[in-house]
């Protein structure tokens, strides 16, 4: 596989006019961690982990730019407070856990249903594809959060709508 990566990466460098300007020592693919648990520290007395380094990646889509930007902005604000008023950098940990990680936690729980209970998720997707698509677009556009969707899906009414057969006539 590394040979294929080298070939594709070499082709990319050539297209960008970057061949010969640097030396490639190693080329390996790595998984991006997601959904940090309670044992992962996001802040210490002089370090803040943001974005992919903090595991702030959407477990359903694998997207991380949004969470990288959000955590970077949070970190910048915390650093500003630290430099101006000597506020501890640990505030970043608390803030990112309450705003970002709690959101990603709901997505992680839903991803378990999607990726580990494939038979059930297949039936749900077939039955509710339009609604799922609309909700996904709302999440991407920021109109809805994973937390809101999680509450809707796992409420009694939400669970009943998942298991209740739909009428073949959409007007009923």
pLDDT digits (tens, 9 = 90+) for 138-151: 998 889 999 999 99
Q: What average pLDDT does the segment 19-33 reach?
A: 75
Residue 172 scores a pLDDT above 70: no
Taking the C-alpha atoms of residue 29 and residue 32, their distance in angstroms, rounded to an integer, is 10
Q: At residue 147, what are phi and psi to the nearest 5 degrees?
A: -60, -45
pLDDT at 37: 64
pLDDT tens column, 46-85:
899 999 889 899 999 888 899 999 999 999 999 999 999 9
What is the greatest pairwise CA distance in the chain? 66
Residue 125 scores a pLDDT above 60: yes
Please name the residue that has the structure tokens 């209740």. Answer: 164
First CA to last CA distance, the chain:
53
* Tokens coding 57: 């990646």
Taking the C-alpha atoms of residue 120 and residue 5, their distance in angstroms, rounded to an integer, is 36
Residue 86 scores a pLDDT above 70: yes
Taking the C-alpha atoms of residue 100 and residue 108, their distance in angstroms, rounded to an integer, is 12
pLDDT at 135: 92
Interhelix angle 118-141/146-153, nearest 10 degrees: 140
Question: 57 and 33 in contact (C-beta within 8 Å)?
Answer: yes
């Amino acid at each position: 596989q590394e040979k294929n990566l080298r070939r594709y990466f070499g082709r990319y460098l050539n297209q960008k006019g970057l061949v010969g300007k640097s030396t490639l020592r190693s080329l390996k693919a790595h998984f991006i961690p997601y959904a940090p648990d309670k044992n992962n520290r996001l802040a210490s007395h002089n370090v803040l982990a943001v974005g992919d380094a903090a595991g702030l990646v959407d477990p359903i889509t694998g997207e991380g730019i949004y969470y990288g930007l959000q955590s970077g902005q949070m970190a910048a604000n915390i650093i500003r407070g630290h430099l101006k008023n000597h506020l501890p950098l640990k505030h970043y940990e608390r803030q990112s856990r309450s705003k970002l990680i709690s959101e990603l936690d709901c997505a992680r729980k839903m991803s378990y249903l999607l990726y580990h209970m494939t038979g059930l998720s297949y039936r749900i997707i077939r039955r509710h594809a339009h609604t799922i698509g609309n909700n996904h677009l709302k999440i991407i556009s920021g109109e809805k959060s994973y937390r809101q969707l999680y509450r809707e899906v796992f409420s009694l009414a939400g669970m009943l709508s998942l298991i209740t057969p739909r009428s073949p006539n959409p007007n009923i």
